[in-house]
């Protein structure tokens, strides 16, 4: 059976590209096939190729490339180039089974509230970055070094310019690869045995300006392995991206965030809001004190500037906002960075030498550096000032209190605009060196390799991070003015208080030695019974260091983990596995694998896998698989010191119950996250059933049902879940003597289960010739049928399928489609990526609403000027579709969900390629 298209499950779709994409897009594509112009099947004879046995993702047994029975998508280099994709993160975004990936935009969206800014991570099935295994040429890489909740490879470390193809295994693979492969495996495979020189350059910019991009790469190889006995290949890739600010985008204004989400903005305004106590409020009410010029104050957030509209456009008078009817609300979304400025450099090299006698030596080196500049809002502070320093309170009874009366102290929550924007530089660098030998020894096809991989992350403050005590003293002395422009002495103090330089540094190291060997044992009716054996010994290490200023908690705008926060921990991992491939008959093939893995500290895990492929007729392939998997807790999960963070703006229900209002009862509550050395591995079980139909050469359809269940989830409770269920989790909420939340504990524990299931659909049509050119169609879609999770053991399941819950949503339907046309030296590709709409996050006091679907169309064209020179031009987001409005409160950025949308809008690019062989 010729299943050549089976490993090429690229997601693409119908010629009805003028129609609006919908959740039934693939079915519409199939229905439209008869309407295609009388295409002639491609029957050109081609020279017969030598069929080479290769190793495919998900198996350690080499086989013919068209024999695989695994549910796998393959993204070829041609697909990558046609769509103008230049980074691994952009490639992963085109995978229909990937959801809630970590991106540069998402990093900004966290706004410093959470860890691991600068990381780009892959997330298959929505099971989490930590449950998606990313490989480079079939081997692991060091995880992103910064401690945090997501343990995974930073996609910035993948040498995108060197990629030949990407194999996406949409099935659990712990039986072959061990931990982390619950959701699937993404294997980036680089070019091999390449000769010649290739130069690439591109330039792109958005139609509204901002977020522009420049790239350049040079690759070259020499030595024909078959002829010369060696090949050396290398590529250098340079990329520069410009920042994108909210003030450059009309859609930010169109979202009307101050009008629609005033309560999700900030109460740290300029001029500053005064946060008064109950006794202070009573005194001012007795004075008939008014700040809005209309009514006597009623809340505990007050600002005399409210009567004059505050200080537009940054600080606004929004009675429904978090500043309330008596105060001001700061609209941080009007002038915030949506996309960071970045410089990324990567170098990849690979060499292979024939040692003779059927043995080879190979070596790989990958070096990369990503420098990302994050620019946020100005810093903020809650400063205590004597009432005599507050002109608007002169003449009130508070000003007449005794000097030692505590009600004379006024807390002012103000935005430090004069100190500049908080700006930090995140430098993530990686090194990976692999060397090994492979060949044939006593009929065993073997490979032995050593892998040394390092991830280094440096976080440096550039501007806007200040010596906290100097700032507090400045306000207490009246040197700094929270209500208006500071004088020369105040501006000088801001300058002196700046703390610049590296504040955090993390290094993650992985050293591994792996061995595998396979051979045919004896003949079965369908072919050779093959056996593979292998093992791995790995050492993982994570070191974290913070600056002296951070350790002493001197930096305003940074959260210290205390003087003892520096840590260095390591562990050893040993594993052994076996796999058999048994073609029982010409029609039926069995694959079975078993891996035993032992993690120092957390114990061992055994992961079995069973797969079946049945070919009842040459046009049809049926397949099934079942297995178990696990994810070991990360070193951060086990050992990270207590970490202080900040939750999104949420309402305290206890405050509301005590006759409070949303203004006084909402805040970005402080959180303390605790690791846990007693964590157990997460466990999973999964199965899949599928079929591939190939009615003729160049035409294939696939449909796969998949089902995954995880238990003993390693997680912390969400702050919104804690506040919504205080009867059960109230012990995690710590309050001061006035009953106001001081902080909330978030503890890593094994808790609850997660269930997710769905269908993967694929369509591939190629070589469809007509009088006007040759057409091709590729479509992949994922229909998620169920996605639910428990908050804790014994709790009811809640669903995030089509509903934003806690930190994100799993869209019910996602697809990517591309229609290709080629004629002589010209080619055009029209592609679409689509995510279905969903129910927005439920916010206290707001009506439930729907978020619209998100559909982007891209158009690219190519002209082969000569066999060596190709020019390309393209438009991404052809229709200039803006992110749909969302009231989500998880991300720092408000008004839309930055985890899957692109704020750049229409983006035009030009590229040129020169190849010499």
How does pLDDT run across 209-220, given as a tens digit for each residue? 999 999 999 999
Q: Is residue 289 part of a domain?
A: no
Closest CA to 241 of 338, 145, 309, 114: 338
Tell me what percent of the residues of the chain surpass a pLDDT of 70: 92
pLDDT for position 170: 86
Judge whether residue 38 has pLDDT over 60: no
> By 3-state DSSP, what share of the chain in percent is helix, strand and coil, each rounded to 5?
15, 50, 35
- C-alpha to C-alpha distance for 271 and 552, rounded to whole angstroms: 30
Judge whether residue 190 has pLDDT over 80: yes
Q: Range of 819's domain?
A: 25-252+339-379+421-465+500-561+591-640+675-713+751-916
Q: Is residue 285 part of a domain?
A: no
Residue 20: pLDDT band (50, 70, 90) is: very low
pLDDT tens-place string over residues 375-404:
888 999 999 999 999 999 998 999 999 999
Among the residue ranges 47-51, 85-89, 422-426, 593-597, the one predicted with the least confidence is 47-51
Give me the number of domains the chain comprises: 1
What tokens does 587 get?
Answer: 């029609």
Judge whether residue 36 has pLDDT over 60: no
pLDDT for position 25: 37
- C-alpha to C-alpha distance for 27 and 378, rounded to whole angstroms: 50
pLDDT tens-place string over residues 286-309:
999 999 999 999 999 999 999 999
C-alpha pair distances (Å), 441 with each of 177, 436, 519, 909: 24, 15, 10, 51
Mean pLDDT across the chain, nearest whole number? 88
Averaging pLDDT over each range in 17-26, 29-38, 152-161, 304-313, which range is the top one?
Answer: 304-313
- Which helix (H) or strand (E) segment holds residue 365: the answer is strand 359-378
pLDDT for position 21: 39
pLDDT for position 54: 61
Mean pLDDT of 673-692: 93
What tokens does 461 get?
Answer: 């403050």
Residue 478 Ramachandran class (φ > 0 left, ψ -120 to 50 alpha, else beta): left
- C-alpha to C-alpha distance for 852 and 22, rounded to whole angstroms: 12
pLDDT for position 17: 33
pLDDT for position 566: 86
Closest CA to 143 of 460, 432, 465: 432
Judge whether residue 365 has pLDDT over 90: yes
Closest CA to 104 of 41, 154, 64: 154
Helix (H, G, I), strand (E, B) or coil at 408: helix
Q: Is residue 167 part of a domain?
A: yes
pLDDT for position 774: 95
Judge whether residue 97 has pLDDT over 60: yes
Q: CB atoms < 10 A from the CB of 234, how many? A: 18
pLDDT for position 82: 87
pLDDT for position 328: 96
Judge whether residue 111 has pLDDT over 80: no
Q: Is residue 634 part of a domain?
A: yes
Task: Work out the angle between the directed axes of helices 488-497 and 468-477 (0-180°, nearest 10).
Answer: 160
Judge whether residue 593 has pLDDT over 80: yes
Mean pLDDT of 195-214: 95
pLDDT for position 104: 65
- C-alpha to C-alpha distance for 909 and 212, rounded to whole angstroms: 9
Assign residue 209 the CATH number of its domain.
2.40.170.20
pLDDT for position 487: 95
Among the residue ranges 22-31, 213-222, 604-613, the one predicted with the least confidence is 22-31
pLDDT for position 39: 37
Closest CA to 123 of 140, 103, 139, 107: 103
Judge whether residue 716 has pLDDT over 90: no
Q: Is residue 739 part of a domain?
A: no
Q: Is the pTM of this model over 0.85?
A: yes
pLDDT tens-place string over residues 744-798:
999 999 999 999 999 999 999 999 999 999 999 999 999 999 999 988 788 889 9
pLDDT tens-place string over residues 229-240:
999 999 999 999
Residue 11: pLDDT band (50, 70, 90) is: very low
C-alpha pair distances (Å), 323 with each of 107, 381, 392: 27, 15, 18
Q: CB atoms < 10 A from the CB of 173, how many? A: 28
Tell me what percent of the residues of the chain surpass a pLDDT of 90: 66
pLDDT tens-place string over residues 843-861:
777 888 999 999 999 999 9
What string of DSSP letters covers 217-241?
EEEEEE--HHHHSEEEEEEEEEEEE
- C-alpha to C-alpha distance for 587 and 770, rounded to whole angstroms: 36
How wide is the angle at C-alpha 490 spanned by C-alphas 488 and 496, nearest 5°?
Answer: 105
Residue 699: pLDDT band (50, 70, 90) is: very high
Q: Is residue 228 part of a domain?
A: yes
| Positive or negative: CA dihedral 280, 281, 285, 286 | negative
- C-alpha to C-alpha distance for 561 and 556, rounded to whole angstroms: 14
pLDDT tens-place string over residues 575-592:
999 999 999 999 999 999
Closest CA to 475 of 419, 422, 414, 417: 414
Residues 6 or more apart in contact with residue 657 via CB below 8 angstroms:
none
pLDDT for position 61: 77
Q: Is residue 318 part of a domain?
A: no
pLDDT for position 691: 95
pLDDT for position 66: 52
pLDDT for position 845: 73
Give me the residues paired with residue 543 across strands.
507, 568
Q: Is residue 369 part of a domain?
A: yes
């Amino acid at each position: 059976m010729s299943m050549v298209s089976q490993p090429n499950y690229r997601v693409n779709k119908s010629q009805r590209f003028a129609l609006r994409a919908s959740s039934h897009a693939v079915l519409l594509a199939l229905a439209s096939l008869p309407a295609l112009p009388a295409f002639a099947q491609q029957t050109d004879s081609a020279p017969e190729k030598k069929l080479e046995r290769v190793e495919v993702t998900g198996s350690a047994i080499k086989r013919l490339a068209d024999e695989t029975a695994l549910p796998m998508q393959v993204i070829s280099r041609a697909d990558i180039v046609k769509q103008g994709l230049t980074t691994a993160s952009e490639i992963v975004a085109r995978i229909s089974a990937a959801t809630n990936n970590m991106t540069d935009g998402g990093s900004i969206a966290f706004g410093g509230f959470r860890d691991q800014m600068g990381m780009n991570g892959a997330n298959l099935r929505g099971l989490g970055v930590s449950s998606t295994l990313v490989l480079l040429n079939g081997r692991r890489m060091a995880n992103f070094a910064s401690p945090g909740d997501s343990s995974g490879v930073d996609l910035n470390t993948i040498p995108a310019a060197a990629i030949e193809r990407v194999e996406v295994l949409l099935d659990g693979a712990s039986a072959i690869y061990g931990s982390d492969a619950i959701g699937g495996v993404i294997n980036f495979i680089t070019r091999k045995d390449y000769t010649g020189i290739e130069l690439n350059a591109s330039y792109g910019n958005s139609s509204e300006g901002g977020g522009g991009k420049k790239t350049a790469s040079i690759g070259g190889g020499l030595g024909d392995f078959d002829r010369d006995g060696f090949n050396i290949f290398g590529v250098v890739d340079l990329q520069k991206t410009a920042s994108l600010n909210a003030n450059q985008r009309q859609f930010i204004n169109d979202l009307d965030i101050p009008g629609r989400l005033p309560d999700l903005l900030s109460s740290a305004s300029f001029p500053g809001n005064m946060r008064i106590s109950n006794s202070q409020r009573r005194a001012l009410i007795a004075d008939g004190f008014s700040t809005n010029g209309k009514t006597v104050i009623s809340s505990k957030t007050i600002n005399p500037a409210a009567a004059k509209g505050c200080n537009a456009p940054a600080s606004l008078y929004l009675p429904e906002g978090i500043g309330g009817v008596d105060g001001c609300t700061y609209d941080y979304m009007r002038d915030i960075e949506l996309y960071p400025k970045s410089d990324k450099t990567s170098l990849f090299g690979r060499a292979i030498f024939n040692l003779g006698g059927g043995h080879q030596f190979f070596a790989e080196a990958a070096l990369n550096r990503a420098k990302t500049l994050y620019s946020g809002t100005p810093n903020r502070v809650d400063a205590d000032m004597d009432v005599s320093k507050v002109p608007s309170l002169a003449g009130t009874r508070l000003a007449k209190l005794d000097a030692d009366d505590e009600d004379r102290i006024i807390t002012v929550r103000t935005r430090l605009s004069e100190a500049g924007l908080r700006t930090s530089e995140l430098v993530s660098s990686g090194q990976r060196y692999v060397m090994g030998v492979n060949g044939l020894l006593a009929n065993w096809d073997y490979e032995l390799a050593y892998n040394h991989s390092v991830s280094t992350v440096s976080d440096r403050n550039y501007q806007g991070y200040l010596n906290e005590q100097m700032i507090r003293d400045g306000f207490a002395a009246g040197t700094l003015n929270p209500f208006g422009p500071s004088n020369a002495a105040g501006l000088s103090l801001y300058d002196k208080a700046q703390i610049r330089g590296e504040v955090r540094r993390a290094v993650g190291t992985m050293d591994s030695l792996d061995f595998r060997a396979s051979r045919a044992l004896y003949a079965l009716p369908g072919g050779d019974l093959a056996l593979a054996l292998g093992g791995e010994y790995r050492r993982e290490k994570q070191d974290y260091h913070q600056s002296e200023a951070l350790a002493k908690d001197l930096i305003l705008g940074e959260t210290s983990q205390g003087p003892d926060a520096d840590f260095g921990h390591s562990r050893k991992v040993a594993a052994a596995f076996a796999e058999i491939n048994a073609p029982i008959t010409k029609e039926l093939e069995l694959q079975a694998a078993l891996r035993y893995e032992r993690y120092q500290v957390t114990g061992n895990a055994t992961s079995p896998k069973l797969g079946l492929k049945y070919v009842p007729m040459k046009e049809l392939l049926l397949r099934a698989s079942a297995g178990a998997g696990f994810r070991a807790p990360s070193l951060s999960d086990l050992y990270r010191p207590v970490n202080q963070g900040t939750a999104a703006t949420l309402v305290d229900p206890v405050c509301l119950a005590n006759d409070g209002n949303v203004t006084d009862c909402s805040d970005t509550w402080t959180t303390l996250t605790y690791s846990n050395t007693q964590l157990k591995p997460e466990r999973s079980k999964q199965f899949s059933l599928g079929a591939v139909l190939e009615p003729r050469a160049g035409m294939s359809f696939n449909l796969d049902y998949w089902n995954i269940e995880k238990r003993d989830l390693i997680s912390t409770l969400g702050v919104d879940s804690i506040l919504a269920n205080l009867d059960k989790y109230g012990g995690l909420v710590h309050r001061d003597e006035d009953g106001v939340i001081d902080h909330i504990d978030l503890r890593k524990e094994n808790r609850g289960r997660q269930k997710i299931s769905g269908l993967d659909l694929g369509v591939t049509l190629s070589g469809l010739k007509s009088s006007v050119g040759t057409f091709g169609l590729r479509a992949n879609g994922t229909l998620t049928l169920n996605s639910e999770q428990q908050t804790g053991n014994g709790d009811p399941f809640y669903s995030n399928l089509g509903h934003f819950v806690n930190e994100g949503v799993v869209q019910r339907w996602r697809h990517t489609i591309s229609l290709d046309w080629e004629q002589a030296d010209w080619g055009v590709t029209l592609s679409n990526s689509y995510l279905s709409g969903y129910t927005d996050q439920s916010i206290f006091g707001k009506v439930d609403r729907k978020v619209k679907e998100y559909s982007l169309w891209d158009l690219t064209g190519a002209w082969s000027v000569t066999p060596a020179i190709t020019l390309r031009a393209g438009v991404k987001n052809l229709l200039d579709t803006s992110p749909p409005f969302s009231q989500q409160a998880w991300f720092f950025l408000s008004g839309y969900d930055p985890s899957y949308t692109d704020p750049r809008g229409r983006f035009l690019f030009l590229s040129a390629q020169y190849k010499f062989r």
